[in-house]
Amino acid sequence: MTTTSTPSAPHAGPADAVRRRRLRSAVYWLVSAPVLLETAVGIQWDLARIPYVLEILARLGFPAYFATILGISKILALLAVLAPRTPRLKEWAYAGLAFVYLGAAACHVAIGDEAGAVVTPLVLAAITLASWALRPEPRRDPAPLFAFGRVPGPAS
């Protein structure tokens, strides 16, 4: 009886795992930087109620005080994304930012704005979702409330 063996892939060592973690972390921060920067600038613009922001809000049918609501919400989201050891809070922050961008795109579509006014928040939403998907393990919720393929059961 003869046995056929197939060559196995070389075993990745601890150094390879560290390199992969560092690369993933670098890609995460590279993808996250535009969203974090846009959020920080948005905070300042919203809370300062610059004319550009007030004009857009008025065109979309929102009152000027909505800028303050957005600004405060963005402060909380930015702090949550940057804060260490708050994975569940990060989930909510990413969801909130995605809702802001998707809602902005929907509002621009609803009033018939040009494509650029719709595409920009959609791109920011996509980058936000990419940042969420790429976040390193310590920034992930170890016990999410919902996981694909797992149906929540009765409380035990």
Which two tokens mark 48? 């300062």
Of 69, 68, 79, residue with least CA distance to 40: 79
- Which pTM was predicted? 0.79
* Structure tokens that stand for 15 in this block: 């150094």
pLDDT digits (tens, 9 = 90+) for 18-72: 998 899 899 999 999 999 999 999 999 999 999 999 999 999 999 999 999 999 9
The domain limits of the chain are 21-136
Question: Which residue would you say has higher pLDDT here, 79 or 149?
Answer: 79
